[in-house]
Homo-oligomer: A and B are copies of this chain.
Amino acid sequence: MTATIPAGVETARDLVGPAIAAAVATLSPDVRAVAAYHLGLADADGTPSAAVPSGKALRPALALLSTRAAGASPEQGVPAAAAVELVHNFSLVHDDIMDGDTERRHKPTAWTVFGVGAAILAGDAMLVLAQDILLEGPAPNSLWASRCLSASVQRLIAGQGADLAFERRDDITLEQCRQMAGDKTAALMACACSIGAIYVGAPADLAMGLAGFGAHAGLAFQLTDDLLGIWGAPEVTGKPVRADLRARKKSLPVVAALTSGTAAADQLGALLASPDPLSEDDLLRAAALVEEAGGRAWAETEADSQLAAAGQCLSDTQMPADVRAEFAGIAEFITARQS
């Protein structure tokens, strides 16, 4: 496993970034300022700070690869890639409000700078831009791509809705948690991996093979992220150590531990149910209990098997060998545990 950013991700940023910047430039001044700030195109006072968005461009890279998988040039997939990245950022801006997160990409989140109202609007605007970019393309492919995107946005919303509801519940089954992660993370990843192909008119079996790869890789990615949220080093995750435990997030390893039927599960449940803030000692103990209850091992095994399933989808789907290798490289990159 490697932690080096695959070259395709950098290329995608250069290719897709200008399309995103151009789309954001069409927004009204008040809304544009917030979207541009969130994307790293401008400072909080409106001063332009970059020509292309500062995010990792992972989803655009996958979308361009899927265009190439269908035998088209990456350039032809730019609208599809820009649409997926705008949807991803719509969800980040809205989720930051809902989760009360104050920092993202080492900057204060949009709602803390511009207010909740302005951040809601900026998210809304990016969502509409995404659909509109797609629909500028020639029908019927643009239309199919748009419907594919809509379906994944509804799953993304469903997943975030379940995640919020889980905060108030202590009876989540592992299956419900996996469904939530599938909706919240894997659905948009599946869309990113197939929308470029759909947008250039690929046959259904190619699109479905790519979507299957994306869904499995997306789940592996979420499992890895959950593991890093408990055991990852702050310098790798960009978040405080054990941040997810502190927030009592019902992540996959935690739910796997809680539903393990072990003594450690009961102790973990009691610890997380306490109404008081968790001390550093509590957090260390919680992490140890997740491990003792088998939550860590389960998540590691599950991540590996999802990654293997993703690889199987790749092998089973016809595409140029170099494209397949790049897909595999990105899947490995996003599931590298670096621990």
Contact = CB atoms under 8 A, between A and B. Distances in A.
Interface stretch (A116-124, A237-245, A320-328): A116-124
A164 to B, nearest CB: 5
B146 A120 contact: no
Question: Interface residue tally of chain A, by bracket?
Answer: 35 or more
B158 A28 contact: yes
A162 interface: yes
B121 A31 contact: no
Contact of A164 (B27, B115, B139, B161): B115
A120 B162 CA distance: 14
Interface in A112-133: 115-118, 120-121, 123-125, 127-129, 131-132
Interface in A23-66: 26-28, 30-31
A336 interface: no
A165 interface: yes
A163 to B, nearest CB: 9
A157 B31 CA distance: 8
Contact of A117 (B31, B98, B183): B98
A224 interface: no
A121 B160 contact: yes
Contact of A128 (B94, B142, B154): B154
- 3 cross-chain pairs, A with B, having the tightest CB-CB distances, nearest first: A28-B158, A98-B117, A30-B161
